[in-house]
Structure 1
Amino acid sequence: MPRTSRRRRRPTLVVALVALPLLALAGPATASTTAKVVPPPPMGTFSHPTRIDNPYFPLVPGTEFTYTGTVTEAGKTVPHSIVFTVTDLTKVINGVTTRVVLDIDERSGQVQEAELAFFAQDDNGTVWNMGEYPEEFDNGKFVGAPSTWINGLAGARGGIHMLARPTVGTTYTEGLVPRIDFFDVTTVFAKGLRVCVPVNCYDNVLLTHETSPLDPTSGIQTKFYAPGVGLIKIGAIGGDSQERVALSRLRTLSASALQSVDDQVRMMDRRGHRVSNVYARTATVQ
């Protein structure tokens, strides 16, 4: 999900990550450069991978989520917004057809990142992260996509985005990509909460805590998921970059609006094949 579903990665600990054995994590909230790494589990069977109806993370094509709030870095707080759109497009990754999502991240009204994210749901109902193509911008100008990763390419392993049946205390790995220092670990922290955001108040909300065990400065990212809706709120506990946003608009796009999103996705897909050696090895979106 947005980054709202994923924290910003800073490729500063790649050497440490590569040098560590793939062993069990010492604990769900461990955060140190000596943390041990647990890889994602083997993926299941994908008979209808783009039919993503997990109660806590449904992805219905044409749905647009808008999140607004702030981000604080180095003591400075600025406006922050994310628009997360489920497209009707697909992309085959490592033999699995995935759903393409467009995630636009703005700070102080200016695009900082535009990302294509790829998800698939297995037959048990677990939703998997299958890859990301995040374009970075500086003062509105495209500067590259160095954090691109695709499951099965260049040592990248996709992980779990949402469990089929989340149980409090369960910990899982969202992905493992040593090349870009992507190793996020999520723990189901609470269930049955009532949470209000600008769009609505929701019951039976799921709360997760996400950490980057190899980056002790990143703190904990809290995420709240409402059944039948998905991600409704993001918060932070500690950390050197604190993102706090909430769902402020939820709508279904018209056919013409969805077509405009599809056009942007296809443009990014073409550019990705030009600028990223990893992405160049993937099929085009369909």
Structure 2
Amino acid sequence: MRHKVLLPALGAAVLLAGACSGNTDAQAGKGACVHVVDENTGRTGSACLPLAPDSARVDRATPHFAHPTRITNLTHPTTEVAQTIYGGQESGKPFRTEVTLLPGIKTITWGDRSIRAVTSQYVAFSAGRVAEVALDWYAQADDGSVWYLGEDVSNYAGGVVADTEGTWQAGHDDAPGAMIMPAHPRKGDVYRTENLPGVVFEQVTVKAVGQTVDGPYGRINGAMTVHELHMDGTTEDKIFAPGYGEFSTGSADGDLEAVSLAVPTDAKQAPVPARLLALDKAVRAAHAGPTPATVRAARALWDAYRASDAVPALLVRQMERDLDAWQKSPQDRAAALRVEQNTTDLRLRYEPVQTVDRARLGMWARQLGIDAAVGDKGAVAGDVTGLELVRQRHDTPESAAFSADLKTARDAADRKDAAAAGRIAQQLIEDVAALR
């Protein structure tokens, strides 16, 4: 299911299935034992996960998919939300996520069926840097339930892919599709959002429905809370809400991944406020030329904007945290990047995703030049990945110059040639400015 507030990667043989006596089929769920796995070592223990009885499960019937790519389920409205921004913290570090509906359809063969699925791009950032990327595949069954048909995962360390643990696809290696949201969730419903013992496994129990929660810009009715059991034996509660889907995981005092805002759910049909434009301009200037004076100017314009417009509470908290760090050390590259990420996120309320993503391309191109100048090869590789991920989100034509220069930047990053990457960064900034 969703991407795990950055758990350490496990070894390939992360989970063994079978009855405690070793002879039943855990995937089929016939009173089977799925063994607990040590998260840090990947070792399988003798204890079994406390699975719910099959009689409580609502994911046992075979789903049918006549029109699978229009996903309108109220608490998992995958195709109704263009982009969602999540924020929070993990292990004491700022944590931020961009989830974007991608263009195009992926056909997945599950058994004797070919199912058309939509793709959602999940990009998690730890302290501003790319930490995990996943392409998630979803389809809505005829009864309104949403099914998870796999994910292509890349976990990053030092700007490069460290492993692909957690990758799976329905129909491969006997993997079944998994229900990620019932059509009409009820308290007590149980379903498995990942169901491939040996690779991935999660069991969800619905704790409450019909709840009201505080959203980015007001109260939201019709939310639900679920209790999720992981393959290492740990559990956590998650909230899902209409207009957003997955809404929050964790708590403000510990690890947290919660919605900052989503579009079109939180979009406002109005021009970008003048004070937000001024803030955006000042942050970009300070990002490119950080000094105590430029950072103070950005802080003053943030204060002015915050006083003049509604700002989601989570984004307020994050911006205050990141501006404090930046003011304390104007040369803090990570703090500068996070402040610009936050500012760009605020523009989503007023501008189309494609427009905001062009601003993100410019941000990553500037960051590429900044990181190349200090010879940070890992950060350079991550910056190029940032450019590539944003580019992946749109199927509109782009300039040949941008495509060629991005390829040059990737080649330089792969060779760990920070100087070459730095030379192309300014050209990428100009290419992005010329995109329409």
TM-score (ref. length: structure 2)? 0.51
1:63 has 2:82 as partner: yes
Aligned to 1:89: 104
Q: Secondary structure at the match of 1:119?
A: strand
| Aligned residue among 380, 392, 395 for 1:264 | 392
| Rounded Cα–Cα distance in structure 2 between residues aligned with 1:82 and 1:174 | 20
Aligned partners of 1:71 and 1:78 also within 8 Å: yes
* SS class of match (2:172): coil
Tell me the alpha carbon deviations over residues 67-108 of structure 1, each in whole angstroms, 9 at most, x when there is no partner: 100113xxxx21111111112221001110000000001111
Residues 20 and 3 of structure 1: is their aligned pair in 2 closer, same or farther, counting only changes over 3 Å?
farther
Does the 8 Å CA contact 1:128/1:158 hold for their aligned counterparts? yes
1:283 corresponding residue in structure 2: none
Residues 206 and 15 (structure 1 numbering): CA distance in 2 closer, same or farther, change over 3 Å? closer
Q: Is the 8 A contact 1:49 1:122 kept in 2?
A: yes
From the superposition, tell whether residues 162 and 4 of structure 1 become closer, same or farther in structure 2 (CA, over 3 Å): farther
* Mapping 1:161-200, distance limit 5 Å: 161-180=180-199, 182-200=200-218
Larger Rg: 2
Please give the secondary structure, in 1, of the residue aligned with 2:88.
strand
Q: 2:333 maps to which residue?
A: none
Aligned mates of 1:198, 1:20 — CA distance in 2: 49
**Distance in 2 (alpha carbons) for counterparts of 1:101 and 1:184:** 19
Q: Secondary structure at the match of 1:53?
A: coil
Amino acid at match of 1:226: A
Q: Structure 1 residue 5: deviation in Å?
A: 9.4
> What is the Cα-based RMSD across aligned positions, in Å?
3.3
> 1:35 is matched with which residue: 27, 44, 49?
49
Which residue number corresponds to residue 329 of structure 2?
A: none
Structure 2 vs 1, CA of residues 143 and 8 (structure 1 numbering), >3 Å: closer, same or farther? closer
Q: Within 5 A, what are the aligned runs for 1:82-161?
A: 82-94=97-109, 95-161=114-180
Q: Which runs of 5+ in 2 are unaligned?
A: 38-45, 265-351, 359-387, 395-436
- Which residue of structure 1 aligns with residue 262 of structure 2? 250
Distance in 2 (alpha carbons) for counterparts of 1:5 and 1:63 = 22
Correspondence list, 1:210-249, <5 A: 210-212=228-230, 214-216=231-233, 219-235=234-250, 243-249=255-261
Task: Give the number of aligned pairs.
Answer: 252
Q: Which residue does 1:275 correspond to in 2?
A: none
Q: Which protein has the bigger strand share? A: 1
Going from structure 1 to structure 2, the CA distance change for 1:207 and 1:7 (only over 3 Å counts) comes to: farther
Letter in 2 for 1:208: V
TM-score (norm 1): 0.76
Where structure 1 has 5 or more consecutive residues not aligned to the other structure, the ranges are 237-241, 267-286
CA distance in 2, matches of 1:261, 1:174: 26
